[in-house]
Structure 1
């Protein structure tokens, strides 16, 4: 997609009245009926912190680090990423095509599964499957707020030949020029440039040099044509160039949970001594003891070893006799006994975890929280997660790949991809129904027909042509028999298929 700077400059600059006068001129009357192809929006995201690129609203590296600091956050992100892209996809006709077998199927299959296609992870160019590349990009989308997939292009024909995952925390949107830069996240030094996805394939072609970022209208205008970058954003009105991850509204909760865990670790590292009061009787603290005690309490909240004890020295008064010196006592009194603190501490962490799950729209069973989960509601939670959280994102991702990659870059608009959905159906219930169907027709169903019912490959003659009743279910179906009872609802669901045909050929 090319930049809309021409439209913005025309209608947003000082010559706006002249531009409108031009449009009213009869000379342009025919053009006024054409469909608008560019947006007239002004870019209001101008933080004035970088000249080359827009500054992300939150440091992407810090957002990425949260995956290593919170087990609940990580479980949610990876569950969503795996659910969206990790189980693969099928190549299917687009729902808007009228043809039973639209043209272009071979082109799409060759791109995704061809021997010459390349799919890679990271700068080390680790070979991967298409599903792995898409899943890794989804991890970035869910944890950082945007994802980046490099579209590998043939240098001669500009035909897409594969995809590579680019760590999104290194990508920045260019300011003033189309495309993106890849930076060293530690130094902000630019490492290279990318063109936006589809830049070479529009009516107005755009080429970007991968080394210096120069922009041209043909391949001859640049020394090293850059690959194109497909960027997806988790929309936020305050971050139009990047997007914001779902965890941001629960950021304080997540940080509080991390702090609570660190507090707990320090507590037990220092022998679980609670916060205390120091009481001196029959004497006074030495000057060194006072100094250390005051410094200790000043730093108590910030100190990484806030539960470490303090060595204090006490002396008797100057006029006291030698015997009086033995009557000096120093007591350390805990301010709390810890029981109520422990209870509130545990409750605090549970509430934090609940808020993190809520921000991600992930049910407890998906994050392996099973205290209040039973068999019935666990299955319902999985189905709700699949249908309400995963499936909409799958459709969004597939639509973006179709529009940019299939239609614009490969020139195929009759074929798209359909991500596999895991957990959307009650698989165990369906397996029981299939079992009942086979048992109900065992007298006339062949082994191969029964295997087809449960999704297994046929055995062929002679075993495949034998009736199920002539063999044990274990030997014929390649699995153990299941004697578990099936409830009446399952029986009724399978009942219409129980009718026994008059012959094995029916």
Structure 2
């Protein structure tokens, strides 16, 4: 029976079966490190009374660098939740909202940081939220306890105290304490010690923290990221990637198996095969290889000496890896609730259209909107109401626009023509500011205003014509 003694690789290298056996054993016993990054807080939990998270936040943060689909999903969700812009609207049941309060809110929210915009800060907080399950805003006050700014604190550097009122950030050898927003006590930023409110100087007191977490029933202190149920898919895809890289780095994929019948493959013959594939074949596609071999000493059999070069197919393994990767990708996207095309993935056989719009609407309503409301409520309750005293206005994030423009125009045109919508109602439905002209609040049927005399109709039509001309000039100006 023919025995495989060596493999000829794509790069022309000849590797003996003994080496392959040793390599396989090495991979089984001495593979790449699988250890989780060490927790920089491990000596601080008992010493400072901190609560250890369910999962190491630093390891969770590193997952972003391990999987393309996880990274893209986290970035997409953070942008869709907090990165599309924001606006202020009058609070419900407030008939005459204070313009002074609106100015106070706008002045703070438009300039919360000397280097970053509010959208950038919120986007960073939500990236942490999606990657580790927790997000942190640092709230800064001046010596008079007035809000003057906000910062983002990387979640993997933060831990919560067991009293639920204090937090610690550790970076390198530096340690800084923070307190829960609105806590009626001062905390020393270096020691974490409690003092009466106002007792500490501005340079000594800890800043406040707004903490949002992705709820899990397993912890009262921290959240967990959406990716956790699909952690196996992330790690499995990483193993697939490392296997392929390792195999390529260690002599690539075997292209041929060399079998010898009736003789042993000696060192000289192995060198001939190596030279043929590394040099001769590269020089000419018509090179001829002449091999000689002799029977092993004491071998008296009459079996002829034969060489056989057989190409090794890797199609099945590669196809399995492709299917494995696709399954992992789908599981990651499912855990995040992100439609494939929003994560930059084109799925064969899916043409988009109404299906894509429906998927986006489901994603918007079930994933994006609830998390927008979570962050909006924190900003409204703590920053605007408690921090700035703004009660007449509420903060809102802009949402993904999933509307079909042509269908929307047809819908509004029908509502206007049948008298259900006034011109101002059409504008507001489109997200535009209403106009102050009183005729813009009238309802029309087939172009004629309701509840108006003939004289009034003529005056209104002239007014609407003049208004139309002004709108055309404004739209075409410049």
TM-score range, shorter chain: 0.5 to 0.7
1:225 partnered with 2:209: no
CA contact (8 A) 2:186 2:199 kept: no
1:210 partnered with 2:204: no
Report which stretch shifted further, 223-232 or 367-376: 367-376
Normalised to the residue count of structure 1, the TM-score between the two structures is 0.63
Tell me the C-alpha RMSD between the 2 structures: 4.3
In structure 2, runs of 5+ residues without a counterpart are 1-41, 268-291, 418-422, 435-442, 449-456, 465-478
1:245 partnered with 2:218: no
- Could you tell me how far 1:275 is from its partner in structure 2? 9.1
Partner Cα distance (1:342, 1:452) in 2: 55
Inter-CA distance 360–453: structure 2 relative to 1 (3 Å threshold) = closer
- Give the aligned partner of residue 176 of structure 2: 192
Q: How does 1:418-457 map to 2 (within 5 A)?
A: 418-431=396-409
1:273 partnered with 2:253: yes
1:161 partnered with 2:148: yes
- Give the aligned partner of residue 139 of structure 1: 127
Aligned-partner SS, 1:350:
helix
Q: 2:238 aligns with which of 245, 252, 258?
A: 258
Q: 2:332 aligns with which of 342, 356, 360?
A: 356
Q: 1:67 aligns with which of 61, 64, 69?
A: 64
Partner Cα distance (2:231, 2:254) in 1: 28
CA contact (8 A) 1:280 1:331 kept: no
In structure 1, runs of 5+ residues without a counterpart are 1-45, 121-125, 200-204, 288-313, 441-445, 459-495
Using CA pairs below 8 Å that are at least 6 residues apart, which structure has the higher relative contact order? 2
- Give the aligned partner of residue 385 of structure 2: 407
- Could you tell me how far 1:408 is from its partner in structure 2? 2.5
Q: How does 1:460-471 map to 2 (within 5 A)?
A: none
Partner Cα distance (1:498, 1:248) in 2: 56
- Could you tell me how far 1:455 is from its partner in structure 2? 7.5
Partner Cα distance (2:162, 2:97) in 1: 41
Partner Cα distance (1:276, 1:238) in 2: 54
- Could you tell me how far 1:190 is from its partner in structure 2? 4.4
Partner Cα distance (2:317, 2:326) in 1: 14
- Give the aligned partner of residue 446 of structure 2: 499
Partner Cα distance (1:397, 1:454) in 2: 25
Normalised to the residue count of structure 2, the TM-score between the two structures is 0.66
Partner Cα distance (1:408, 1:162) in 2: 15
CA contact (8 A) 2:263 2:296 kept: no
Partner Cα distance (1:418, 1:452) in 2: 16
Q: 1:51 aligns with which of 44, 47, 66?
A: 47
CA contact (8 A) 2:101 2:392 kept: no
1:150 partnered with 2:129: no
CA contact (8 A) 2:84 2:119 kept: yes
